């Protein structure tokens, strides 16, 4: 089993990643003057105010991270024994107004830098808080507009926080070394005795094609069995299209699992055991995480 941080996520619209939003509202920003918007990274729930010390760099050209309490006073609105904050930063409108973002979306390097900065900031706070990541390029014309956005649909936000509290997302990808599988198939054809050379050639070719189809079907079965087995250890699951083959590896499964923190070790061990068994058959099973619950927030307001 290979376990590592996945490559930079592609800046495309998907269920698993944030997407661009226009700057909202008309109120003036609390900080920085009329040329600055409030960029929102995430909604945080925690028993005490999260520490900003050591927070990573976020979006390019954005200010340092800061917290907006969601309450009627400085302490933070109470939800049970926990409180809520918005994790935000000042973002220059010259770079982050809607027209500027639309231009920037044509620059893959810039979009990737934004996505990585957004995710670095979100992931930094997962150790001490329940985190709901906002979509990439979620901006408002001022802190009060950002607060109002949450207040308008507070019940939905609270329900989402309850849904992911105490749970983390794990990613699992299964792929097959298709080239090696086909080579094995070519070594196996039996020679038909008593037939002419042309007939033997056609029969051998037919057997290789049949074996290739069998390899594909076996791969699908391996993917379904893997997904079913790991799903039993998860609270919720999501599957994405496997994607394109890379360097001869045929993708078979790309799935996300929302797992209770108390079952994380069991989940990792289950992946490890399955990966060892599948490796001997020419498969590669990759585990990534834990992550914030990116794939389980499709219904964010």
According to the model, what pLDDT value does residue 300 have?
A: 82
Q: pLDDT truncated to tens, each residue of the chain (301 aa)?
A: 655 444 344 333 333 333 344 444 433 334 445 789 999 999 999 999 999 999 999 999 999 999 999 964 444 444 556 799 999 999 999 999 889 999 999 999 999 999 999 999 999 999 889 999 999 999 999 999 999 999 999 999 999 999 999 999 999 999 988 776 666 555 555 545 555 555 555 555 555 555 556 667 778 888 999 999 999 999 999 999 987 777 778 899 999 999 999 999 999 999 999 999 888 788 899 999 999 999 998 878 7
Distances (CA, A) of 15 to 7, 109, 142, 201, 207: 17, 22, 28, 48, 41
According to the model, what pLDDT value does residue 71 have?
A: 66
Dump the DSSP string for 81-115: TEEEEEEEEEEEHHHHSHHHHHHHTT-HHHHHHHH
List, for residues 33-46, the tens digit of each pLDDT value: 578 999 999 999 99
Q: How many residues does the chain have?
A: 301
- Report how far residue 131's alpha carbon sits from residue 227's, in angstroms, rounded to the nearest whole number: 26
Distances (CA, A) of 118 to 17, 114, 135: 11, 6, 9
Where do the domains of the chain lie?
2-165, 168-178+214-296
List, for residues 143-170, the tens digit of each pLDDT value: 999 999 999 999 999 999 999 999 999 9
Dump the DSSP string for 217-245: HHHHHHHHHHHHHHHTT-SEEEEE-----
Residue 228 burial by Cβ neighbours in a 10 Å radius (0-12, 13-18, 19+): exposed
User: 168-178+214-296 in CATH: which number?
Assistant: 3.30.70.600
Location of structure tokens 């926990």: 82
- In sequence order, which ranges of the chain are alpha helices (DSSP H)? 93-96, 98-104, 108-124, 143-152, 154-164, 178-187, 197-231, 264-279
Tally: H helices and E strands in the chain = 8, 11
Cβ 160 vs Cβ 266: under 8 Å: no
Could you give the maximum distance between any two Cα atoms of the chain, in Å? 92
């Amino acid at each position: 089993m290979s376990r590592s941080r996945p490559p930079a996520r592609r800046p495309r619209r998907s269920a698993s990643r944030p997407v661009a939003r226009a700057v909202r509202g008309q109120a003036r920003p609390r900080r920085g003057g009329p040329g600055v918007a409030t960029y929102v990274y995430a909604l945080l729930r925690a028993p005490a105010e999260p520490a900003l010390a050591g927070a990573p760099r976020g979006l390019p050209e954005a200010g340092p991270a800061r917290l907006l309490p969601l309450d009627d006073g400085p302490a933070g609105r109470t939800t049970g024994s926990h409180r809520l904050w918005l994790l935000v930063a000042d973002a220059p409108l010259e770079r982050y107004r809607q027209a500027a973002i639309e231009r920037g979306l044509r620059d893959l390097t810039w979009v990737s830098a934004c996505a990585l900065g957004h995710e670095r900031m979100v992931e930094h706070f997962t150790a001490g808080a329940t985190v709901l990541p906002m979509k990439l390029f979620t901006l408002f014309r001022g802190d009060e507009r950002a607060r109002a956005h949450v207040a308008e649909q507070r019940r939905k936000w609270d329900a989402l926080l309850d849904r992911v509290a105490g749970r983390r997302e794990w990613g699992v990808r299964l792929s097959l070394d298709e080239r090696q599988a086909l080579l094995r198939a070519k070594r196996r054809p039996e020679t038909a005795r008593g037939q002419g050379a042309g007939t033997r050639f056609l029969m051998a070719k037919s057997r290789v094609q049949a074996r290739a189809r069998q390899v594909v079907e076996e791969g699908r079965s391996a993917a379904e069995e893997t997904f079913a087995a790991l799903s039993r250890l998860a609270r919720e699951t999501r599957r994405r299209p496997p994607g394109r083959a890379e360097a001869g590896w045929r993708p078979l499964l790309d799935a996300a699992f929302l797992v209770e923190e108390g079952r994380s070790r069991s989940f990792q061990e289950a992946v490890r055991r399955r990966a060892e068994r599948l490796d001997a058959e020419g498969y590669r099973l990759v585990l990534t995480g834990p992550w914030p619950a990116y794939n389980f927030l499709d219904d964010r307001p």
